[in-house]
Amino acid sequence: MKVEHSLYDVDKEARFQKVYDSYMQDVYRLCFSYMKNKMDTEDAVQETFCRFYQAMERVKEEEHVKGWLLVTAGNVCKNILKHWWRKNRSWQENEETKGRYDEYEIEMLELVLNLPVKYKTVVYLYYYEGCNSVQIAKLLKKPESTIRTYLQKAKKLLKQELNEGNAVGVNRGSVYQTREE
């Protein structure tokens, strides 16, 4: 009989490594959605995991680790974005980023990244992380109805941008498809 160990049955360093290996990609994607370039994203990811290492004793429940990391990553990114030097940089100037996405993906990403922060976060968690509105409400400590409203308003804003022609070449049909909850 194979005994499965939880993340919390091992020493601190091994636990940290297991959490890092399990959630680094999720944290990276969220940070990139805020930071828009690789260097700042890596800084935000590093800061997020440093904070987790310091707070590991307080994050006892296994099912809360991912939520804690994503909320913390969002907060770290918001703090970084407050710096004046960060506001003057554009992810489009980063040649490394340009080569990774086709034209459609870049345009859609630009539209999503230009949403107000409250909508951008909800859209990211819903479409990129696969969270449903109940999970997002718990993560963000907001009523589920607020999350649904944010999703609805974000879709309306994206649709408006597409209809105004602010995203040339985007396949408009795919934006309106909704994911089943």
What burial class does residue 59 get, using C-beta atoms within 10 Å of its C-beta: 0-12 exposed, 13-18 middle, 19+ buried? middle
pTM of the model: 0.53
> Higher confidence at residue 47 or residue 102?
47
Q: Using 50, 70 and 90 to split pLDDT, how confident is the model at 171?
A: very low
Please check whether residue 123 is in contact with residue 131, taking contact to mean a CB–CB distance below 8 angstroms: no
CA–CA distance, 46 with 40 (Å, rounded to integer): 10
Look at residue 107 in the predicted model and tell me its pLDDT. Answer: 75
User: Residues 92-100: what's their mean pLDDT?
Assistant: 53
Q: For the domain covering 101-181, report its CATH number.
A: 1.10.10.10
Counting other chains too, the contacts that 67-73 makes at CB distance below 8 Å and 24 or more residues apart are 67/138, 67/139, 69/19, 69/23, 69/26, 69/27, 70/26, 70/27, 70/30, 70/125, 70/129, 70/139, 71/139, 71/140, 72/48, 73/27, 73/30, 73/31, 73/44, 73/45, 73/48
Q: Where in the chain is the domain with CATH 1.10.10.10?
A: 101-181
CA–CA distance, 178 with 145 (Å, rounded to integer): 17
> Best-predicted range by mean pLDDT among 84-93, 107-116, 128-137?
128-137
The number of residues in the chain equals 181
Q: Where in the chain is the domain with CATH 1.10.1740.10?
A: 1-98
Helix residue ranges per DSSP H, 56-176 = 65-81, 84-87, 95-98, 103-113, 117-123, 133-140, 144-163, 172-175
Burial profile 111-138: b = 16 or more Cβ within 10 angstroms, e = fewer? bbbebeeebbbbbbbbeeeebebebbbe
User: Residues 108-137: what's their mean pLDDT?
Assistant: 83
Class in CATH terms, 1-98: mainly alpha
User: Does residue 27 register a pLDDT over 80?
Assistant: yes
> Higher confidence at residue 80 or residue 83?
80
User: Does residue 147 register a pLDDT over 90?
Assistant: yes
Q: What's the angle, vertex CA 106, arms to CA 100 and CA 109, rounded to 5?
A: 115
User: How many separate helices (H) and strands (E) can be counted in the chain?
Assistant: 10, 0
